[in-house]
Chain A
Amino acid sequence: MIAGRRLDTLRSNLLLTVVCLVWVVPLVWALGTSVRAPGEPVGTGFLWLPGRPSLANFAEAWSAAPFVTYYLNTIVICGGILAVQLFTITLAGYAFARVPFPGRELLFSLFILQLMLPLTVLAVPNFLTMRDLHLINTKLAIMLPYMASGFGVFLMRQAFRSVPLELEEAGRLDGCQWWQVLWHVYLPLTRPALVAFGLVSVTFHWNDFLWPLLVTNTPNARPLTVGLASFALAGENGAQFPLIMAGTLLVMAPLLLGFFLFQRQFVSSFIRSGIR
């Protein structure tokens, strides 16, 4: 029995080591390539890792494309969307959880519709709307469609429902208005759901590509992902892979670092993101 279990553990470790190596190798290789000194040919050296690491590619990538603008745009877009979303999903989530009013189910089904029809699919009609509103090439065009979130409302409805009703009644008896009850009773108790939503939202919008690509045509309003795509496609022919890998890692670094630091939080948040 004991020997069998040991053998089982050994087999699991072996299997997982092999699979995880396959999973990690692309990232490690990208990292190794990005720190290759300029002029050192790609694919030489032990395990194709560079002989003498250098950050020259990062410096060159940073100056070869307007990454500062891209970074600022991505931060403004993610922050702007999240700020408005937190406001809209809190109020709507509370209404759907605790305010019985006629037409509630019907209105809720509109939010479910957004879970079923992701905005990438509605890109064509939404693009035409943005064009009619003269918003093409603005960060606002990227942000507007996402400011109501079916996922967020669903998540907050569940979270608010788990708050004991007696707490709300106690607050009301103390003379609190509904926004005071929301602020002092509900929000402190549902912070984990809000944090989970925030992480998923920021990750999603940091990585979003198609919609920002469609509504922008100059670097002024473009986020990192769209900037990276044009950067990668421009360099592809010249076998400038060290440079492209450096640019790619520049784009991914904040999320990767955040993930490695707050792994558990990321995983539990993404499990909640499964609602669709």
Chain B
Amino acid sequence: MQLELPATSLPSAGLQSLRFRVTAGRFAYGLLLILPSLVFLLPFTVWPAIKVVVSSLFLADIAHPQPSFIGLGNFAAEFGNEVFWQVMRNTVLFAGFTVPLSIGLALLLAVEVNKKLRLVGVFRTALFYPTILPTVGAAAIWLFVYAPGLGLADRFLGLFGSYDHNWLGDPALVLPALMVMMIWKQTGYFMVFYLAGLQGLPQEVFEAAALDGARGWRMLRSLTIPLLSGTTVFVSTIALIDSFQTVDQLFILTQGGPNNASNLLLFWLYQEGFRNFNFGRASAVTVIMMALLLAVSLVNYRQLDRAAHYES
């Protein structure tokens, strides 16, 4: 027994150390491959995400260049600021209108451009091209579209006798005007996801339904929309994330005005940081924004997980 023990433990110890060496080697090998990415990912994504949570707890504005701890003071200041609530209201309204409208339109158009039409290629191009335009460039064009009296919007309405709206200067019109541009810019992008979804569906189901006399609206409501619900979850998430991040066009079109009527969360974040030079409050707004985005992504991630289970 006593003699046997070293005899049996020797190879097992050797195996263990070999296994450890293999594991350590694998780890080093894996880490080596990921290292080039980590060099950029850690300092510019992971670290700032942590740092901003910390700096949101510090008073750091132009009068206090040396940050001092104030707990949740920055958040309290934001929550006590009327402008912040106006911005939140605008952001929710903006998402609440642009997301469902652009997705609904995208679905309808996808069904249409999935048909065998002679000009289908031209139609798809015409609907998708705004996706690849720089938002500031698109906004410069829409600045002209909305030019009072002179622009396309007023000229078109002029045909019906209503003329000279100050689209971007009227607090009641400015947010809807931005929504229209957003829908124009995004719908084609969402449409191609639906188009891909439609092309992945079994054609026989639609043929069978057509033989049973299902057409148009009924086919859409009771067959197409339920079958594409996975795509809808996916596209809604992208749309919501994009909508929360809307900012570029505000620089060109409105600067958030008039009177913050078109101010959105990311533009407000920019103003707090780079116009009011209050990096403490800007950090607090960043944390609020991060919480919003993570919430949307987590919901989506769970949905995708479910979808993956369903597929396999």
Contact = CB atoms under 8 A, between A and B. Distances in A.
B105 to A, nearest CB: 8
B133 A270 contact: no
A22 B109 CA distance: 13
Interface string B30-48: 1101101111111111111
A123 B286 CA distance: 9
Interface stretch (A64-72, A104-112, A188-196): A104-112
B72 interface: no
A119 B44 contact: yes
A48 interface: yes
Interface string B125-141: 11111111111110011
Interface stretch (B5-13, B87-95, B111-119): B111-119
Interface size class of B (residues with CB under 8 A): 35 or more
Interface size class of A (residues with CB under 8 A): 35 or more
A229 B137 CA distance: 8
B234 A92 contact: no
A210 interface: yes
A103 B31 CA distance: 9
Interface string B13-57: 000000000010011011101101111111111111101100100
B30 A12 contact: no
B140 A95 contact: no
A16 B286 contact: no
A63 interface: no
A179 to B, nearest CB: 10
Contacts of B126: 20, 23-24
Nearest to B41: A148
Q: Of B34, B113, B115, B126, which is in contact with the most chain A CB atoms at under 10 Å from its CB?
A: B34
Interface of B: 23, 26-27, 29-31, 33-34, 36-49, 51-52, 55, 109, 112-113, 115, 117, 119, 121-137, 140-145, 147, 150, 152, 155, 184, 188-189, 192-193, 196, 215, 234-235, 237-238, 241, 245, 247-248, 251-252, 266, 269-270, 273-274, 279, 282-283, 286, 289-290, 293-294, 297, 300
23 contacts: A9-B115, A12-B115, A16-B109, A30-B141, A91-B37, A99-B29, A110-B42, A111-B37, A117-B45, A121-B286, A128-B279, A207-B132, A207-B134, A209-B135, A210-B266, A229-B136, A229-B251, A233-B252, A241-B147, A252-B137, A267-B128, A274-B193, A274-B238
Interface of A: 4, 8-9, 12-13, 15-16, 19-20, 22-27, 29-30, 33, 42-43, 48, 84, 87-89, 91-92, 94-96, 99-104, 107, 110-111, 113-129, 144-150, 153, 178, 203, 206-207, 209-210, 213-214, 224-225, 228-229, 232-233, 236, 239, 241, 244-245, 247-248, 251-252, 255-256, 259-260, 263, 266-267, 270-271, 274, 276
